[in-house]
Amino acid sequence: MKWKLPPARPFSWKMKSLDSAQTAFNTLPYGSFELLINHNVIRNVTPDMLLWWFQHIGDLMPHEGKTYPRYLIWHPIDHIHWELKKPAPDGGAGVGAHFHIVEAFGGNMKHLVDSMEEVIKLDTEGITLVIRILGMEVYRLAHRFIPVAGGTLYRSRMQVGHESLRGRWLINPVMHRFIFPRAMGLAWLKHNVEEVGNFEFFLPELYNSQVEITSVM
């Protein structure tokens, strides 16, 4: 399918800048890319809220007088499509589920991601997504949630490639030239700082409204 950016969704907040977080872009011994982000505190957002968000990311939400898929509000410029391609064994978006994720970092279609990612961890400590090719892990994105006074510290680590001789000579050169070049990694750092920072502007209100509805029912 040929994807295109949907119209940008309206939003009333100012997205966080790249320099609001501590970031690093490393090349590991066998050539994998390692991208690290220590986000500043996500204010008024708890690990329970983040777990709930990822478990219900495929639902709709009211926003600026309209109803949108939640994924499109999480980053109102870069996000294109999210789909639960394969539910978890116990149903829903839990461990064992596969997410179909489509986004373009910086709203730039040259940085388009169209990936199928397996959830191997999802709880109040964080979420981890992986991609495997022929049984070999070639991508891992791990987010850790650390509760602190006033919110949550969010720590992100992405690894693109495989740390092995096969990775060094075959997988990593192909991935970094054709699928995820360095420029795309730099664009992802900014994208992720923005989308994680966006949580504090809409998630507490959304979570509290849904919890209230559930408690009434």
**Residue range 147-173: average pLDDT?**
97
Q: What confidence score (pLDDT) does residue 211 get?
A: 76
Residue bearing tokens 């639960």: 84
Nearest Cα to Cα of residue 6 among 63, 57, 61, 82: 82
Classify residue 40 by its DSSP letter: P
Q: Which residue in the block uniquely carries the two structure tokens 């397996």?
A: 118
**Residue 215 binned pLDDT confidence (cut-offs 50, 70, 90):** very low
End-to-end CA distance of the chain: 40
Q: What mean pLDDT is predicted for residues 178-191?
A: 97
Residues 79-125 pLDDT 10s: 999 999 999 999 999 999 999 999 999 999 999 999 999 999 999 99
> For 17-70, what is each residue's pLDDT tens digit?
999 999 999 999 999 999 999 999 999 999 999 999 999 999 999 999 999 999
State the pLDDT at residue 216: 44
Question: For the residues 8-17, what does the mean pLDDT come to?
Answer: 97
- 193 contacts 21 by C-beta, under 8 angstroms: yes
Helical segments of 75-181, H only: 165-166, 172-174
Task: Say if residue 187's pLDDT is above 60.
Answer: yes
The residues near 80 (Cβ < 8 Å, ≥ 6 apart) are 3, 4, 5, 6, 102, 103, 104
pLDDT for the residue 143: 98
User: Backbone dihedral region of 47: left (phi > 0), alpha (psi from -120 to 50 degrees) or beta?
Assistant: alpha
Q: How confident is the model at residue 214 (pLDDT cuts 50, 70, 90)?
A: low
Domains recognised in the chain with CATH numbers: 27-175+200-216 (3.30.530.20)
75, 66 contact by CB (below 8 A): no
**Cα–Cα distance for residue pair 146/44, rounded to 1 Å:** 13
User: What was the pLDDT predicted at 213?
Assistant: 55
Phi, psi of 175 (to 5 degrees): -65, -40
pLDDT tens by residue, 161-170: 999 999 999 9
